[in-house]
Structure 1
Amino acid sequence: MSERQHLYLVDGSAYIFRAYHRLPPLTNPEGTPVGAVYGYTTMLWKLADDLDKADGPTHLAVILDKDSTSFRNEIYPEYKAHRPEPPEDLRPQFPLIRDATRAFSLACIEEQGLEADDLIASYARAATRKGWDVTIVSSDKDLMQLIGQCAKEELEPGVESGGCIDMLDTMKSQRIGREEVVEKFGVGPELVGDVLALMGDSVDNVPGIYGIGPKTASKLIQDHGSLAAALDAAPDMKKSKLKERLLEGRAEAELSRVLVTLKEDCDLPQPLEDFALDGVPPEPLAAFLEKQGFTSLLRRLDSGSGSPDRPNNLNPAKPENKRAAASAEGNRQPLPDMPEIDRSAYECVQTMERLEHWIARAMAARLVAVDTETSDLDCMVCDLVGVSLATGPNEACYIPLGHLNADGGGSDMFARPPQQIEKAAALAALKPLLENDAVLKVLHNAKYDLNVLARNGVHVDPIDDTMVISFALDAGRAETGIGGGHGMDELAERHLGHKCLTFKEVCGTGKKAIPFGEVALDKATEYAAEDADVTWRLYRHLKPRLAVEGGTRIYERVDRPTIAAIAGMERHGIKVDRPQLAKLSGEFATETSRLEGEIHALAGEEFTVGSPKQLGDILFDKLGHKGGRKGKSGQYSTDQSVLEKLSADGAEIADKVLEWRQLTKLKSTYTDALQQAINDGTGRVHTSYSLVGAQTGRLSSTDPNLQNIPIRTEIGRQIREAFVAEEGNVLLAADYSQIELRLAAHMADVGPLKDAFANGEDIHNRTAQEMFGTVDRDTRGRAKTINFAILYGISRWGLAGRLGVEPDEAQEMIDTYFKRFPGIQRYIMETLEKVRERGYSETLFGRKTWFPRINSKNPNERSGSERAAINAPIQGTSADIIKRAMARMNPALTAAGLDNVRMLLQVHDELVFELPEADVAQASKVIGEVMAGAAAPAVTLDVPLGVDIGTGHSWGAAH
């Protein structure tokens, strides 16, 4: 135990809800919901492990809310009034979460009538008076009022200097001190309460002053020094909306200041000394894990990994509990025996002799994990800083190529350049290994490294990608947010029980952050070689699962062949017409300004059109439109569906707002952003495609996102006109025609639809004839809406909203549709039955998409999963087919002598190419044949795949 005591106070309530939303529903052997318990346990375990490895606490307690009311409700009955009741399946988990805390032999504190924040404040202040330092584990802005407080008065006898308080945000792995608070609020922690009182808090229903947001609140406190001073200054301010609001809202602000003030003098339910840490006895924790069926955590405890002082004498997990844990973790195969990761075993390769040694090892192994370190996340602008290799567990090295300082910390004139192999010589030595078709290269997010190395003259092949393998196995299963839970760090924790070094730990954060090329070589080697080591281990764990769990087909026939094709598309990029974009931005700005004026005129006053709260108040309180509904925040919903409903009811202002929103979004997302995205070196825009961004397998694009340009509107066409070909070339757009309807006809075995496609009929005309007995503009339009809506599992109310009819009439249409096309209804019922039973859907190529909440007791979660499950096999098969076309395209073009044809973009069901105008006829034939035959021979379809092809100097003209 260190000489100075350090208390950690964990905001347990925040952990609970994070855990609940992080994982799918899970039950223990007794049938009790335990999804949140499992997530909470893993988070607490990770915290204990992280703190043990760092300069950890001497004392620790978890602080919880006893119930939803406190003394603040006596002051202001509406306090937290809008917070919903906890979900039904979360309530029985609260006692188990307390049991989980005590299973770790940690103090668990809660008190009737007090919020967790007040207990944390009181314990923190008591500890600092004893001379202890305090870290609050939370990201709660209210608790930031305590940061930096160092006790100077009322110190306990014998204490020479008081302790200080900081925070730890485990979500961001960030320490929060006074500097970070000032950066966030513009004021020090002692004035955070004043800012909060002005801006209010819709979640807790703290009123604040209407119309004053965080920026205005911060500036007022900065300018005047306190809330009281700002309010007192209001009468002397110039006439303005702000002055009126300060004068009218003074009472609300003063009330809010009382509500946000933390109570720092609560009676302490347990003395601080009871929080002393003295290891974690394994027996209570083992008993708890076994009772809840958390077999993988029990295995970690048994192996001694992931936390301190864990003996290896626990009983193995019971077989009957394995299924529940597997569904939560997506880890149904035993982890291969491997030694724990030892970063001290890694080698920094600084001579050609040692590099040749590693290359020989990789050649002999026939399998090597590879990773690159770069100066930037953008693979099209970054410099290559180093390469790491791994040939086995703890058999990894880092080859620095672009480091500037052997000791780290900067690149100024006093920096000592490290010994490293000259980049060109190292790459020349690595090239035969990385391009050798007898050696498999394993990468994580291979597309990035392929582009980095290709720009340096090395074309890596053959490859496997652990990120894409994970996606093929577990898409949708983990529900862990961005990236679908397939990032290396996430997979290392989930499957290997290992926490990787983070980039921030190596390079720092904020103003003190340094580029990777300035990191000391010993630290850089630990970080970079660990990535290769972890990739190698993940491959050994995940690749065998493909065969066992039926993922080989989708990975080998669809996903893996696509990786190199997509990397090539990203490198090629597409040219955009900057003057045309600037012209459009100007036109959009003029039009949005005009629309704002018209909206203000219809509203009878000026307001911020982009503010949902102000817009809601105008629409429903002032103008009295019907259909307003308030959400949890207490403000009206003004999302697109609400505005569309108002528009259908004749509200002209809703039309104008919808138009305004579309223009401002298109301006910021495309016409402005695309100009900034032009690469200085190539003069082109290089979007980045994610192979794991959508759980159905569809590609998604970012930086910039090209997937959401409106398809059939004039504005969308104008934006596409700005995507152009180089001089002497044209763009060719090849688009699958109604591919999802064709796949539905095949998968649901719908005879009339299959006949219509086989005969080249207009499918919407055929549907209109079948449903309404006549074909005209109105019935065809309705048939088109119904055709697509049914495939998304639309409800009677949803269809009624789209068609502008009553729900009963919409239900009659759905019934008629199913009667005319019974295969569709059969497909829907069978699909849902399979997903409920197995937990996942499958495409025709075997891609699994998991739906953990398909059997949820929450009707919104369940119905949302059902709608997605109905469409996933169709949309996923469509995505699989276009990926197969992309993978086959370059070889087919090369075989036809069309080496100058470049595939540039994939957007939904469309591929865009750039090519010499003289090659259009021959290329159109090859491209059409590849796309039309992409499903075969793996899948034989009962309907033909139609492909529409157009060309022009711009993408818009090619349509």
Structure 2
Amino acid sequence: MPASHLYLVDGSSYIFRAYHRLPPLTNRHGQPAGAVYGFTTMLWKLLNELAGPEGPSHLAVIFDKGSHSFRNEMYDQYKAHRPPPPEDLVPQFPMIRDATRAFSVPCIEVAGFEADDIIACYAKAALAEGWAVTIVSSDKDLMQLIEPGLDMLDTMNDRRIGPDYVVEKFGVGPDKLGDVLALMGDSVDNVPGVPGVGPKTASQLIQTYGDLESVLAAAESITKPKLRQALIEHADTARLSRRLVELHCAAPLPEPLDGLSLQGIPPAPLRAFLEDQGFRSLLTKLGDGGAAPVPAAAAAALPDDPPFRHEAYETVVEIEALDRWIAAATAQGHVAIDTETDHLDAMRANLVGVSLALVPGQACYIPIGHVGEGEGLLAEVPVQLPRALVLARLAPLLADPAVLKIGQNLKFDMLVLARAGLDLVGYDDTMLISYDLDAGRQSHGMDDLCKTHLAHTTIAFKDVCGSGKNQVSFDRVGLERATHYAAEDADVTLRLWRRLKPRLAAEGATRVYELVDRPLVPVVAAMERAGVRVDRDELQRLSADYAVEIARLEGVIHEAAGGPFTIGSPKQLGEVLFERLGLKGGRKGKSGVYSTDVNELERLAGDGVEVARLVLEWRQLTKLKTTYTDALQQQINPETGRVHTSFSLAVAQTGRLSSTDPNLQNIPIRTELGRRIRDAFVAAPGHVILSADYSQIELRLAAHMADVPELREAFATGADIHSLTAQELFGEVTRETRGRAKTINFAILYGISAFGLAGRLGVDRGEAQAIIDRYFARFPGVSRYIADTVAQVRAQGHVTTLFGRKTWLPGIKGKTVGERQGAERQAINAPIQGTSADLIKRAMVRMGPALAAAGLDRVRMLLQVHDELVFEVPEEEAARAAEVIRAVMEAAAGPAVTLSVPLGVEIGTGPSWGAAH
């Protein structure tokens, strides 16, 4: 190995990776600093990984000096289509240069030259001195520089890039890559290339003819007419493109090679920079942060974390190894855990293996259900410990409350383990921790969290099990590949926990995590295991009824439209409405097809267009049939005879649960046909369905949170809130004014505009604005609440529920007025809806112990649908259960929060869900 090894970091690419990977952050001065924080952690991670005898002797970070370079003199449209950098990124550019210098690392940029050119200059100079060179980037343009002694490092995918990679990707070696790039062009940099020539054609041409000039010289002999013509007509453009993609080494070296010597990281300048920015979590990693860590909103891998090394993970196939891991986890007091199964549905999945992680980089996989790769007699079952033995050994560890089990989306693992006869007690869930910290700022799935916080891309499931028709279940994956995948999941979970858990206290999220979300995991898992009984015969009858009505509607629609067409085709429907019938106001999208979405059809129906009204009805019936009455029959679990929905705990931005496979929260109930679907959800013999629904909970919370005396008094005395509003706004209470008042009450809580309210009430915008003004005059507390909430979200970027749940709304800093106004409307309702979600979650957590204390152990909670809980109750216990359920729900706020309004609960029972309403 050469005595000197130079690393050249493409700083410009690091900046944009950091910016797009992290949520918006501000430093202690209130300046945007998300990209600065991300860049700092990425560079720190790189420097720590490179430390040691095998690391570089010299290193520099190279940046673009500006957007204008000598290439713009050659071609004035070069990069002309690139949008300007985001508004909040521009002020971070100089701070990122400061971050680089804080590490005592050379920070290099030259006016008139791009970072790629400066990298090329230093690379060529170092190679001439006999040095080794590594370029830290994955930029295809820089791949032209690869030669003996020079490679590239792609830190995003943790791989080295050499000549073989270039050949595999582009079909030619690095020395011919510029010719391929010239032919294919680059839409991002606006390098024109040759129209119609893509990467594959460009590669074939260079492979055939040798270089660009040879291709152009042979253009007349090329047999494909379009390609021949394009090469002839655009020969000069291709030559220009070749000059544009060529890396130039004409710039002088701002720093001599010896000046790039890597001397370690002196702490003083780095400490000063971190203190100035307020990056206290990074200060603690420096070793002198003083107080306990106060992590920022997101972080890349901490400096003391080892890189991911899949070959270091252990496959546990001996009892001594299993006992060693269990003993180590017990002694340590915490362990990350993950399960692997043969099915994505937790209620049908069999446990295939368990993975554990103790410290970053130290993880194992315990296979118990692998049947071997291949099919039938060709499958060779791998050596693994007996299933019963492993489960018996793991059971005490999983049930020990003194050992914290750390998981990602632990509800799934709880369900799978329960099917195997194992209880999991004492846990943390990284998905929920992330949700309670960053709801609205990012996704909370493991893969996304790993990229954001660990700067690592996990092994994809499809890379292990295949995809499409070639996909196999996990029990057929070989043990080596299974271990790499499964143990990585546990390792990632542990690393995420180490970063995210300290932030709960630092950012005020401990209360909502500990009092609301974390205790809910086993409660929801039990609900999913219970499932709900459905009457298959009733579903079949409904499907048949819907089919008859759908066929009738189709005939009526065709008659009203003047002839048959495919109603489910937006293209054909648009043509019928706006061409055949000649209706006005049709608007086409980019595809040239008229919009026929629900808003457009409702507009036309409101104008009296019969076809539009009938199509809306047809669409609803079709959805009811396909999504519910047909699909529910297929979703009945053959083992239990019940439907088991899956409740997502970390999807809805405001804290609500959401339901999938099937979605039982969106069954339409405003029409008789929709309500009939609930009649198919029935109680087991000897039981009844009990529905407990919070009454007008969002209006009650608004009365408390906005401090509106009139509304508080109305709820306290049991007065009708909508009648009160009708009297205040219209001076009289009639059926019409009460209906309008009800619309207004809810619309105001969603921050509706005068335009929106006008559409809801069927009045002009001026009258709608007058109604809003009158509402705020009668209830000034609501106006103050809205103003304060909007001010809070503008200042802090988030709003908060009464229990401390934060909902982040990045759109408040959006580029367009519409985006910012949308975020303001969300902000007005989010604290109210979020508090409502927190209340029903607290009731759910308390429900099991309360029922058990009353001797009602046989009562099972089945569903949570927005403000409603659904139970299956032995018939003779229904009255006592109703009393307990009502008491728990009405007291759900205390003692953490004291409400100034009572919570009302409406309870009904019946043989079916529909009858219970």
C-alpha distance 30-533 of structure 1, shift in aligned 2 (>3 A)? closer
Q: Which residue of 2 aligns with 1:396?
A: 363
Residue deviations 1:460-509 (CA, integer Å, cap 9, x gap) = 0111101000100011123xxxxxx1111221221122222222222233
Q: Which residue of 2 aligns with 1:608?
A: 566
C-alpha distance 471-730 of structure 1, shift in aligned 2 (>3 A)? same
Tell me, in whole angstroms, the C-alpha distance in 2 between the residues paired with 1:38 and 1:513: 40
Tell me, in whole angstroms, the C-alpha distance in 1 between the residues paired with 2:568 and 2:440: 33
C-alpha distance 661-158 of structure 1, shift in aligned 2 (>3 A)? closer
Which one of 487, 507, 513 corresponds to residue 471 of structure 2?
A: 513
Tell me, in whole angstroms, the C-alpha distance in 1 between the residues paired with 2:684 and 2:668: 24
Q: Which residue of 1 aligns with 2:204?
A: 151
**Counterpart code for 1:387:** V
**Counterpart code for 1:491:** L
Q: How does 1:219-618 map to 2 (within 5 A)?
A: 266-267=238-239, 269-270=241-242, 274=246, 316=270, 318-321=274-277, 330-331=297-298, 335=302, 337-405=304-372, 409-478=373-442, 485-618=443-576
1:623 to partner: Cα distance:
2.8
C-alpha distance 39-792 of structure 1, shift in aligned 2 (>3 A)? farther
Q: Which moved more, 1:590-599 or 1:688-697?
A: 590-599
SS at match of 2:652: coil
Q: Which residue of 2 aligns with 1:7?
A: none
Q: Which residue of 1 aligns with 2:836?
A: 878
1:310 to partner: Cα distance:
13
Tell me, in whole angstroms, the C-alpha distance in 2 between the residues paired with 1:554 and 1:476: 16
C-alpha distance 784-535 of structure 1, shift in aligned 2 (>3 A)? same
1:618 to partner: Cα distance:
2.9
1:133 to partner: Cα distance:
12
C-alpha distance 762-87 of structure 1, shift in aligned 2 (>3 A)? farther
Matched, 1:639 2:611: no
- Contact conserved, 1:37 with 1:100, CA < 8 A, in 2? no
Q: Which residue of 2 aligns with 1:191?
A: none
Which one of 755, 762, 768 corresponds to residue 720 of structure 2?
A: 762
Residue deviations 1:519-540 (CA, integer Å, cap 9, x gap) = 2212212221121122112112
Q: Which residue of 1 aligns with 2:154?
A: none
C-alpha distance 802-917 of structure 1, shift in aligned 2 (>3 A)? same
Tell me, in whole angstroms, the C-alpha distance in 2 between the residues paired with 1:824 and 1:620: 43
- Contact conserved, 2:553 with 2:614, CA < 8 A, in 1? yes
1:515 to partner: Cα distance:
2.2
Q: Which moved more, 1:335-344 or 1:35-44?
A: 35-44
SS at match of 2:812: coil
1:267 to partner: Cα distance:
3.3
1:339 to partner: Cα distance:
2.7
**Counterpart code for 2:840:** I
Tell me, in whole angstroms, the C-alpha distance in 2 between the residues paired with 1:919 and 1:273: 79
**Counterpart code for 2:422:** V
SS at match of 2:378: coil
C-alpha distance 853-36 of structure 1, shift in aligned 2 (>3 A)? farther
Which one of 609, 620, 636 corresponds to residue 578 of structure 2?
A: 620
Tell me, in whole angstroms, the C-alpha distance in 2 between the residues paired with 1:20 and 1:720: 47
Q: How does 1:855-934 map to 2 (within 5 A)?
A: 855-934=813-892
Tell me, in whole angstroms, the C-alpha distance in 2 between the residues paired with 1:775 and 1:262: 77
Q: Which residue of 2 aligns with 1:233?
A: none
- Contact conserved, 2:25 with 2:297, CA < 8 A, in 1? no
Q: Which moved more, 1:336-345 or 1:95-104?
A: 95-104
SS at match of 2:527: helix
Segments of structure 1 that go 5 or more residues without pairing to the other structure are: 2-11, 47-61, 67-82, 111-119, 163-225, 229-253, 285-301, 303-308, 479-484
SS at match of 2:352: strand
Q: Which residue of 2 aligns with 1:4?
A: none
C-alpha distance 460-133 of structure 1, shift in aligned 2 (>3 A)? farther
Q: How does 1:156-171 map to 2 (within 5 A)?
A: 156=209
Tell me, in whole angstroms, the C-alpha distance in 2 between the residues paired with 1:942 and 1:606: 60
C-alpha distance 263-615 of structure 1, shift in aligned 2 (>3 A)? farther
C-alpha distance 146-602 of structure 1, shift in aligned 2 (>3 A)? farther
1:266 to partner: Cα distance:
3.3
- Contact conserved, 1:109 with 1:269, CA < 8 A, in 2? no
Tell me, in whole angstroms, the C-alpha distance in 1 between the residues paired with 2:199 and 2:696: 59
1:356 to partner: Cα distance:
1.6
C-alpha distance 868-382 of structure 1, shift in aligned 2 (>3 A)? same
Q: Which has the larger radius of gyration?
A: 2
**Counterpart code for 2:241:** P
Tell me, in whole angstroms, the C-alpha distance in 1 between the residues paired with 2:23 and 2:318: 50
Tell me, in whole angstroms, the C-alpha distance in 2 between the residues paired with 1:400 and 1:92: 51
Tell me, in whole angstroms, the C-alpha distance in 1 between the residues paired with 2:18 and 2:388: 48
Tell me, in whole angstroms, the C-alpha distance in 2 between the residues paired with 1:150 and 1:342: 35
1:661 to partner: Cα distance:
1.5
**Counterpart code for 1:151:** Q
Q: Which residue of 2 aligns with 1:800?
A: 758
Tell me, in whole angstroms, the C-alpha distance in 1 between the residues paired with 2:254 and 2:544: 66
Residue deviations 1:380-418 (CA, integer Å, cap 9, x gap) = 11111001112222232211001122xxx4244233322
1:768 to partner: Cα distance:
0.7
Q: Which residue of 2 aligns with 1:773?
A: 731
1:954 to partner: Cα distance:
0.8
Percent identity at matched positions?
57
1:821 to partner: Cα distance:
0.7
Q: Which residue of 1 aligns with 2:60?
A: none
Q: Which moved more, 1:929-938 or 1:854-863?
A: 854-863
Residue deviations 1:823-871 (CA, integer Å, cap 9, x gap) = 1010000011111111110000000011112132311110110010000
1:349 to partner: Cα distance:
1.2
Q: Which residue of 1 aligns with 2:105?
A: none
Tell me, in whole angstroms, the C-alpha distance in 1 between the residues paired with 2:171 and 2:36: 30
Segments of structure 2 that go 5 or more residues without pairing to the other structure are: 2-11, 46-63, 69-80, 97-112, 120-135, 143-165, 189-194, 216-223, 283-293
Q: Which residue of 2 aligns with 1:948?
A: 906
Q: How does 1:43-58 map to 2 (within 5 A)?
A: none
- Contact conserved, 2:35 with 2:89, CA < 8 A, in 1? no
- Contact conserved, 2:178 with 2:246, CA < 8 A, in 1? no
Q: Which residue of 1 aligns with 2:49?
A: none
Q: Which residue of 2 aligns with 1:244?
A: none
Tell me, in whole angstroms, the C-alpha distance in 1 between the residues paired with 2:679 and 2:356: 45
C-alpha distance 700-339 of structure 1, shift in aligned 2 (>3 A)? same
1:106 to partner: Cα distance:
7.6
Tell me, in whole angstroms, the C-alpha distance in 1 between the residues paired with 2:867 and 2:712: 20
1:430 to partner: Cα distance:
0.7
Tell me, in whole angstroms, the C-alpha distance in 1 between the residues paired with 2:248 and 2:882: 74
- Contact conserved, 1:387 with 1:398, CA < 8 A, in 2? yes
**Counterpart code for 1:594:** R
C-alpha distance 134-808 of structure 1, shift in aligned 2 (>3 A)? same
- Contact conserved, 2:299 with 2:452, CA < 8 A, in 1? no
C-alpha distance 418-38 of structure 1, shift in aligned 2 (>3 A)? same
